[in-house]
Amino acid sequence: MSSMGIPKLNPIMISGAEVLPLVEGGKGIAISDGLSSGLWAAEGGVGTFSAVNAHIPGQENLSALDSYSSKIRIKRHAEMIERAILGGISQAKIAYETACGRGRIHMNVMWEMGSVEAVLHGILSKVKNLIHGVTCGAGMPFRLAEICAKYNIKYYPIVSSARAFNILWRRAYSRLSEWLGGVVYEDPWLAGGHNGLSNNEDENTPEPPEPRVRSLRSLMRSFGISDLVPIFVAGGVWRLSEWTDWIANPDLGAIAFQFGTRPLLTVESPIPLTWKKALFTLKRGDIVLNRFSPTGFPSSAARNTFLRQLQARSDRQVLYAKMLDEQYTEPFHVEGPNARGQKVFLAADDGVKVRRWIAEGYSVALVTPSHTLVFVTPDESARIDDDRIQCVGCLSACNFSGWSQEPQHSPAPDPRYFCIQKSLQMISTVGDVENALMFCGHQGYRFAEDPFYAGGRIPSVRELFAQICSGE
Ligand SMILES: Cc1cc2nc3c(=O)[nH]c(=O)nc-3n(C[C@H](O)[C@H](O)[C@H](O)COP(=O)(O)O)c2cc1C
Ligand code: SF4
């Protein structure tokens, strides 16, 4: 045991080097960057920068959706790919230079981001000697192995269950097993950002991570994958003194610990100061799973004005019928922009609610793909229109704008969602913590309770890393 009471944290082999099994998880957009990941690696761990629309240094203004020159969405999408590639290359160079050869540098992308394969090829073809691995989740990254193998780089799928890894392995990875660097197990009930909760898992019934990681390890063993191939445990890891059973435990095989929320609060973390300060104000229960991301995945974020407004918008919702029948008796003229002048019928009870909302100023009815109307103010309606016009196709398919890389599979635009690109850019550049999505892990409330942060202390990456190594 070390002096602080945790078993000694031995280096393990990750992406071709012996490093401490401590990982800074990738965080988009522009939340884990070349500097934060490079500094983490310089301490002897694994730093992961996000290559999801990464910033081009000195040209951060180019991330704003209103900075795109073309008015045609497909051309804006092409511009986005170009900028994403340049941003990813820049951050990889910064990470490499900052790490000075220590630790390992990984790059993170989201499989369901727009034109992910083009972005991966564009970046990896230029930086394959500067980074050591690619982590990828939010979707089923079947082709990740093939792409990484082409550039001799290890790949790390992010999964939330053994079941997901089973499918990936059988369909794609078994043929390229030598490039599998490890598997990230991201706890779908605890991790910040998008979460991989499947349909048969209940968001209100969290399952403990250990049996799930054990079943992932036994599945990996059944495929002949060595115990030296690490599982990165992500989600809810705060201090290692709470994870002593996981350290050097031969039953679990090699384990690394991935941190997403704690590294938000360092001096060098690129998030704005307003966001850093907001982390100290979080209380237990303030971080919630929500279903508003236009990716269709659940996600974990702090409950703020932004989430409350989305919830209120969804609450101002009624079913409608196109024809008069026994239940839908009250005629209503939809004046909203996506169904102007259409006559529909509402249930009598709903008619009462609708008249109240209209009187309160929520006078625009927007049609959703679920045969419902949601009621918003004229300003909100105009913002929804503007955001859709500014869409750059940052996702492979977007429930908010209806954009899809494969137009034949375009989802119907749905006003209950929002433009996540705009929102994440807004929080990472302007730092508007009330009116944008503030991703956060469910243990974010611990900043306010942990004596390490007493008096609003913001540590350096070096101090945080040392604190984590100490077990606290
Ligand atoms: C603000 C924020 C943004 C995140 N963005 C991403 C992302 O873009 N891609 C990803 O794979 N994981 C993302 N994550 C998840 C982290 O990489 C990490 O796995 C997770 O936060 C670990 O759990 P923790 O929050 O309990 O530390 C994000 C997490 C946070 C807090
Ligand atoms: S509308 Fe959807 S696809 Fe378009 S930029 Fe926003 S989040 Fe991305």
Binned at pLDDT 50, 70 and 90, residue 3 comes out as very low
pLDDT at position 336 is 64
Question: What is the separation of C-alpha 335 from the centre of its chain, rounded to a whole number of angstroms?
Answer: 36
Element spanning 145, H or E? helix 144-150
Parts of the chain belonging to CATH 3.20.20.70: 12-270+452-469
Residues in the chain: 472
- Residues 110, 122: Cα–Cα separation, whole Å: 15
Please give the average per-residue pLDDT across 367-387, as a whole number: 95
Taking the centre of ligand 2 as the mean of its atom positions, its distance from the CA of residue 401, in whole angstroms, is: 6
What percent of the chain stands above pLDDT 70? 98
**112 has which bridge partners?**
none
166 CB-near residues (< 8 Å, 6+ apart): 219
Residue corresponding to tokens 């469910």: 442
Instruction: Say which ligand is closest to the CA of 415.
Output: 2
Measure the CA–CA gap between 48 and 106, rounded to whole angstroms: 4
Query: Residue 2: pLDDT above 50?
Result: no
- How far is residue 301's CA from residue 299's CA, in Å, rounded to a whole number? 7
Asked which of 74-83, 175-184, 197-206, 210-219 is least confident by mean pLDDT, the reply is 197-206
Q: Give the mean pLDDT of 287-311.
A: 96
Which atom of ligand 2 is the closest one to the Cα of 387? 1
Compute φ and ψ for 308, nearest 5 degrees.
-65, -40
**Residue 341: per-residue pLDDT:** 72
- The residue whose CB lies within 8 Å of the most ligand 1 atoms, and thus the one to mutate among 27, 424, 426, 438, is 27
pLDDT in tens, 214-241: 999 999 999 999 999 999 999 999 999 9
Residue 422 has pLDDT above 80, yes or no: yes
Distance of alpha carbon 190 from alpha carbon 442, whole angstroms: 5
Which listed ligand is nearest to 65 at the C-alpha? 2
As a CATH number, domain 12-270+452-469 is 3.20.20.70
Rounded to two decimals, the pTM is: 0.95
What burial class does residue 249 get, using C-beta atoms within 10 Å of its C-beta: 0-12 exposed, 13-18 middle, 19+ buried? middle
Distance CA 299, CA 424 (A): 13
**325 C-alpha to center of ligand 1: Å?**
48
Substitution site in 77, 422, 423, 424 for ligand 2 pocket (most atoms within 8 Å of beta carbon):
422
Q: Is 137's C-beta closer than 6 angstroms to any atom of ligand 1? A: yes
- Tally the C-alpha atoms within 13 A of residue 191's C-alpha that lie toward its C-beta: 29
Nearest CA to ligand 2 atom 7: 419
Residue 155: in which H helix or E strand, if any? strand 154-159
Task: Give me 26's structure tokens.
Answer: 């990738």
- Find the mean pLDDT for residues 333-348: 81
Expressed in angstroms, the distance from the first to the final Cα of the chain is 14
Pocket around ligand 2 at a 6 A CB cut-off: 294, 391-395, 398, 400-401, 403, 419-422
Concatenated DSSP letters of 326-361: SSEEEEEEE-STTSTTEEEEEEHHHHHHHHHHHHTT
CA of 27 to the centre of ligand 1 (A): 5
Number of CB atoms found within 10 A of residue 402's CB: 17
Residue-wise pLDDT tens digits, 260-281? 999 999 999 999 999 999 999 9
Considering every ligand atom shown, identify the ligand nearest to the alpha carbon of residue 393 and give its number. 2
pLDDT at 218: 97
> Is residue 184 within 8 Å of residue 159, measured between CB atoms?
yes
Residues 430-443: b if buried by 16+ CB within 10 A, e if exposed = ebbbeebbbbbbbb
- Ligand nearest the Cα of residue 419 is 2
pLDDT of residue 337: 67
Which atom of ligand 1 is least distant from the CA of 271?
1
Which atom of ligand 2 is closest in space to residue 394's alpha carbon?
8
Overall average pLDDT of the 315-331 stretch: 95
Confidence of residue 247 (pLDDT cuts 50, 70, 90): very high
Residue 62: closest CA among 31, 96, 86: 86
Which of 119, 403, 426, 437 to mutate to test ligand 2, by most ligand atoms within 8 A of the CB atom? Answer: 403
Ligand 1 pocket, residue 230 CB under 6 Å: no
322 pLDDT tier (thresholds 50, 70, 90): very high
Q: What's the gap between Cα 5 and its chain centre?
A: 33
CB atoms within 10 A of CB 85: 23
Mutate-to-test residue for ligand 2 from 112, 194, 385, 419, highest number of ligand atoms within 8 A of CB = 419
Confidence of residue 33 (pLDDT cuts 50, 70, 90): very high
Each residue of 200-216: pLDDT tens digit?
Answer: 888 889 999 999 999 99
The residue written with tokens 């984590």 in the block is 468
Distance CA 185, CA 212 (A): 9
CA angle 139, 292, 380 (to 5 degrees): 135
Contact 459, 467 (CB under 8 A): yes
Helix (H, G, I), strand (E, B) or coil at 147: helix
pLDDT digits (tens, 9 = 90+) for 116-173: 999 999 999 999 899 999 999 988 999 999 999 999 999 999 999 999 999 999 999 9
Q: In terms of Cα–Cα distance, which of 401, 421, 422 is closest to 410? A: 401
Query: Which tokens sit at 128?
Result: 């394959």
CB contact set of 59 (below 8 Å; sequence gap of 6+)? none
Q: Report how far residue 466's alpha carbon sits from residue 336's, in angstroms, rounded to the nearest whole number.
A: 56
Q: Which residue has the tokens 């968001």?
A: 203
Residue nearest to atom 4 of ligand 2 (CA): 391
- Determine the Cα–Cα distance for residues 442 and 193; give it in Å rounded to an integer: 10
Instruction: Provide CB contacts within 8 A for 386, sequence distance 6+.
Output: none
Phi, psi dihedral angles at 328 (to 5 degrees):
-100, 95
Per-residue model confidence (pLDDT) at position 388: 95
pLDDT category of residue 323 using cuts at 50, 70 and 90: very high
Q: What is the pLDDT of residue 199?
A: 82
Residue 1 has pLDDT above 60, yes or no: no
Measured CA to CA, the distance from residue 19 to residue 164 in angstroms comes to 27
